[in-house]
Chain A
């Protein structure tokens, strides 16, 4: 980096933050947080709507769907990497072979998609639970009344269900962002930030800087920036939780 041209050692870490790879890491972090959050909310609400209907084995399905969230991320990442996404031994390519995609190198060529899929898979259950709590706080009488008045399913979803779900979705987005922005396990194991820096997010970049390049000063400087950036998200989060809190808890279940 620029340490040879820098006049004092103390200022150096702050200056080298301008380095291109830091910007890449920031952009990657935004991408690898925003897409999984949005995707898991969409999947989560969809699955919650399906599970909120009368369906055979509903309790059992609800038990199964929370599993991706419970398994140890390290273990899940290894299983994804070697038994599912592997080019030769992965079962995904086995399923895709009839469609002529059986030799796709998912981790090497579609690394960002891989990480996004992994994070979405892991966080969808959380969104399902939140959305289910929201759906079950909905008054059945209101729904029946709307239906008697001749409102169609889409109309009911848009004007009754969605407004009802809104605070729950907001909470999901905020909490999801706070947790997913810190994603480390999956990236460490599945792609190690690569290829090149394609999946290097800030936590992984700071880890590399501190514990592989042993540049503690630079890593600390980056960490300070991360903390400042997170305060912005956290302010929104706190305000949201505070508004829910003043209503003394959303009623669900």
Chain B
């Protein structure tokens, strides 16, 4: 992010106003962040510390609940199989998206195919239809192909869901590759594959990474398709969490620990690409 200079307005504002606005900014941001913080803190408590009507702000942090989430306790399953499904589905679908999106984005930017504009807008229009409109045909097709409750089904669906975003995003990065560089490589006798591998990919690698992470975030957090199309063998982390909706006995620390594990990876990934996040979410419209 661009280093913010002090503007004339900032310099003119009275020190007290500036201080109050600063404090207000901190308070507002912390209110928004609080649920995430509270989740992480509660996960570090023991059950007696967590299940109180007067919250314990000072407590001895323990990883005991993380351990019990991992191993499974009190009739609840352990997290590892769900985590494994989530990792497989997310990683494989993200790789598939990149493999398919890069050539598509190339054909829509550097060497545009005829009617590339229509193609581009067809891609994006698929993002505008609600998933709920497609769930029933998807269910029927998956059932007939014997793919229900299978990780392969989620891999296919998440690839399809993220493809339009990835194409748009990668296209906006490819447009920033100077034409002269590609031209120079061609004059030097580099074929298409070498141009892409040795010239284009190194230049757009930050964009490639950001695209991958955004697909990763969407696939990791997806719930609607997962809950309707999987039960055990393809069930991902959100499905594991749904098991907490009807709890028995004290469970707040256990729940918070599980929720923290579920969110941690994506939080770190999102924080890492925060500058590019807005570009991905607006399909490359905002740079």
Contact = CB atoms under 8 A, between A and B. Distances in A.
Q: Do A and B come from one complex?
A: yes
Interface of A: 46-47, 50-59, 61-76, 78-80, 82-84, 88-89, 91, 93-94, 121, 124-126, 129-130, 132-134, 136, 140, 143-144, 147-148, 153, 156, 168, 171, 175, 178, 181-182, 184-185, 188-189, 202-203, 206-207, 210-211, 216, 219-220, 223-224, 226-227, 230-231, 233-234, 237-238, 241-242, 244-245, 248-253
Contacts of A250: 285-287
B129 A227 contact: yes
Given A72-B237, A79-B35, A126-B281, A62 B6 contact: no
Contacts of B140: 216
Given A47-B29, A80-B35, A245 B285 contact: yes
B36 interface: yes
A189 B241 CA distance: 10
Interface stretch (B59-67, B199-207, B217-225): B217-225
A70 B228 contact: no
B21 A75 contact: no
Contacts of B252: 82-83, 89
A64 B33 contact: yes
A66 B274 contact: yes
A57 B22 CA distance: 10
Contacts of B135: 206-207, 210, 223
B125 A71 contact: no
Interface stretch (B92-100, B188-196, B254-262): B254-262
Given A210-B136, A227-B130, A72 B238 contact: yes
A102 B30 CA distance: 22
A178 B133 CA distance: 13
Contacts of A61: 25-26, 29
Contact of B285 (A66, A93, A249): A249
B38 A91 contact: yes
Contacts of B238: 72, 74-75, 185
Given A56-B22, A184-B132, A73 B221 contact: yes
A95 B18 CA distance: 28
B24 interface: yes
A119 to B, nearest CB: 13
A74 B241 contact: yes
B277 interface: yes
B245 interface: yes
A83 B42 contact: yes
Interface residues of B, number: 89
A233 B128 contact: yes
A61 B24 CA distance: 12
A50 B21 contact: yes
Interface string B257-278: 0111011001101110011011
Contacts of A249: 172, 284-287
What DSSP secondary structure best describes chain A's contact surface?
Answer: helix
Nearest to A236: B128
A79 B287 contact: no
Interface string B1-28: 1101111111010000010011011101
B137 to A, nearest CB: 8
Contact of B9 (A71, A147, A226): A147
B76 interface: no
B39 A185 contact: no
Interface stretch (B46-54, B150-158, B178-186): B46-54
6 contacts: A68-B33, A82-B251, A83-B38, A89-B51, A216-B136, A249-B286
A70 B266 contact: yes
B131 A182 contact: yes
Contacts of A88: 53
Contacts of B271: 63, 66-67, 70
Contacts of B258: 75
Given A91-B55, A226-B132, A70 B217 contact: yes
A241 B35 contact: no
B274 A63 contact: yes
Residue from the set A58, A69, A72, A171 with the largest chain B CB neighbour count within 10 Å: A72
B286 A133 contact: yes
B263 A75 contact: yes
B230 to A, nearest CB: 13
B10 A219 contact: no
A12 B21 CA distance: 60
A47 B238 CA distance: 30
Contact of A189 (B2, B4, B221, B242): B242
Given A82-B252, A144-B7, 9 more contacts: A66-B274, A79-B39, A83-B42, A88-B53, A140-B7, A171-B286, A189-B245, A202-B130, A226-B132
Given A70-B217, A129-B278, A244 B130 contact: no
Contacts of A56: 22
Nearest to B10: A54
A182 B286 contact: no
Contact of B125 (A51, A89, A234): A234
